[in-house]
Amino acid sequence: MGRRYRYVGPDDVRRAAGGGTGTGIRGVADLERWLADAEAGEPATFVVTLDGVLRLAPRRSEHVACAEGADVLAAGEMGFDGTDVSAVSNQSTGYCPDPDSWPAVAASLERAGIAHPGRYTDLITFRRCEHCGERNIVRDGDFTCAVCGGTLPEQWNFAGASGLGPAR
């Protein structure tokens, strides 16, 4: 099934996000209907649910709302060229998925019959600072916390994280 990602963003965002903004995409016809209602050319927020279904929401939607507050197998942003996926990333500061979440994305797209690039086209490396608890994006291989200057771990470390705050 792959790693299960739970929401690790701020509780106020979870509360404000509500739920139910995501649309399940089980085939090309579902994607065509979703795209007809979406803003032209704008990427989508996506999650892959625990049962392997791709859910899409408008880009300005919170991932936690797209997922209806549930744990996910993957989360990020997705762009389309017609009904083909042209760009896809794991950019979700609410779930902070590791790049190894790609197989769940690929499987959901393949089950739906949607062509894709075969990998994340933009990879984000997330780490939680074990000193101050802040979520970080690792840039240019620099594993230094942008908030407190602490050293970030080499391995993905959000499994026990819940919201923001110091490591427990």
Coil/strand/helix, residue 72: strand
pLDDT above 70 covers a percentage of the chain that reads 93
* 104/133 same-domain check: no
* 96/134 same-domain check: no
Tens of pLDDT, residue by residue, the chain (168 residues): 689 999 999 999 888 877 678 999 999 999 999 999 888 788 999 999 999 999 999 998 999 999 999 999 999 999 999 999 999 999 999 999 999 999 999 999 999 999 999 999 999 999 999 999 999 999 999 999 999 999 999 999 998 655 444 333
pTM of the model: 0.91
The predicted pLDDT at position 13 comes to 87
* 52/83 same-domain check: yes
The predicted pLDDT at position 15 comes to 86
Q: Would 38 be classed as within a structural domain? A: yes
- Using an 8 Å Cβ cutoff, are 25 and 111 in contact? no
Based on the structure, what is the number of domains in the chain? 2
| Nearest alpha-carbon partner for 85 in 28, 140, 128, 5 | 28
CA distances from 113 to 7, 30, 31, 36, 151 (A): 28, 11, 10, 18, 42
